[in-house]
Amino acid sequence: MIEVSAPGKLYIAGEYAVVEAGQPAIIVAIDQFVTVTLNEAKHSGSIQSAQYSDLPIRWTRRKGELVLDIRENPFHYILAAIRLTEKYASEQGKKLRFFDLKVTSELDSSNGRKYGLGSSGAVTVATVKALNEFYQLGLDQLATFKLAALAHHEVLSNGSCGDIAACCYGGWIAFSTFDRQWLADEINQRTISELITSNWPKLSIQPLTAPSDLRLLIGWTGSPASTSDLVDQVNHSRSSQQQRYSHFLTESKACVEEMITGFRTANINKIQQMIRKNRHLLQELTSITGVTIETSALKQLCDLAEENGGAAKSSGAGGGDCGIAITSQKSGILPLMSAWENAEITPLPLRVYHLEKRKDR
């Protein structure tokens, strides 16, 4: 039996801007996991997941026609990851075999509601990692990232693939996504093996080291949000506000780069200042697009953190899900936890996950 895991993730800064090639974000891997087990089979294979079997099928309308939105269904990412990894395996001279694949996830609440910790990225990476072992492909972190990113491209995901990077590298990372148009053009011209070994324009994944006394606190508002829907809404609304949107991108890049400097110089005050600035920039993005990113519950989460010595903002696409607070270990953490709980915000007992701390079997 092969058993591998991939962690969840949280965005710290750079949301929305990061979907543009070369725009930086800071992301962290957290210690809740999607686990894939794989057993060789004889004449047919299977895919099983108790967590995902009851997911509703989302749909929308395009030009008056009903269209299924496959981007929220992890099974499509699993299938794409299998197809592309096996295509790569074939190119490497491996004989394809049957297998039974089972997925278990810690990235949802006990009643199945998602926390917004990046389950689609984690299940894609875990599937690629399992097949890497099954076919003995020898994929490194970057090759695993590229195969998982290709799977997301196939599913027509509108995300940046930052969640995939966090799953592959662990810890804190500074991330900028690749040129998607370049990838779309190259897919038709190159083999999977050639794509994996190519330099992807604008892609950057750089590990960061957090200051030793920095604490990351995470609160869940209890209201799940659809990242793909929110990004769609922003993309649609920004078209009439290109000048203001371009200014947002410029300011977001400067903010995140300054925060990266804060990590590299172990300056928690600078990191906190940029957290607050990034929160303000996301509020400006709401005024540009009309899309609610910081809900009333997220606002309360952030305001309570500020009252208790932290710097806080929404994490990821917003619209619900999680908010994060950055404090120092000298700050009063327990009063903030109590304040969140009194406001019906659930503190999540999550820690930063570094790859060396968990070994796949």
Per-residue pLDDT of the chain (361 residues; tens, 9 = 90+): 999 999 999 999 999 999 999 999 999 999 999 999 999 998 889 888 876 655 555 666 667 777 665 556 678 899 999 999 999 999 999 999 999 999 998 876 555 556 667 788 999 999 999 999 999 999 999 999 999 999 999 987 778 999 999 999 999 999 999 999 999 999 989 999 999 999 999 999 999 999 999 999 999 998 766 666 677 777 776 766 888 999 999 999 999 999 999 999 999 999 999 999 999 999 999 999 888 899 999 999 999 999 999 999 999 888 878 999 999 977 678 999 999 999 999 999 999 999 875 444 3
Task: Check if the beta carbon of residue 107 is closer than 8 Å to that of residue 115.
Answer: yes
- Give the number of other Cβ atoms within 10 Å of residue 140's Cβ: 10
CA distance 315 to 117: 10
Task: Check if the beta carbon of residue 38 is closer than 8 Å to that of residue 100.
Answer: yes
- Per-residue pLDDT tens over the stretch 53-84: 555 556 666 677 776 655 566 788 999 999 99
Helices and strands, number each (H, E), in the chain? 11, 12
pTM of the model: 0.89
SS3 27: strand
Task: Check if the beta carbon of residue 265 is closer than 8 Å to that of residue 274.
Answer: no
Amino acid identity, position 346: T
Q: List C-alpha distances in Å: 184 to 21, 82, 126, 176, 191.
A: 13, 20, 24, 18, 13
User: What dotted CATH number matches 2-209?
Assistant: 3.30.230.10
Q: Which CATH superfamily is domain 214-347 in?
A: GHMP kinase, C-terminal domain (3.30.70.890)
Task: Check if the beta carbon of residue 107 is closer than 8 Å to that of residue 114.
Answer: yes
Quickly list H helices, the chain: 74-91, 119-134, 141-154, 162-169, 180-187, 192-197, 227-238, 242-264, 268-289, 296-307, 333-342
Q: Name the residue ranges covered by the structural domains of the chain.
A: 2-209, 214-347
Per residue in 221-249, is it b (16+ CB within 10 Å) or e — as a string? Answer: beebbbbbbbbbbbeebbeebeeebeebb
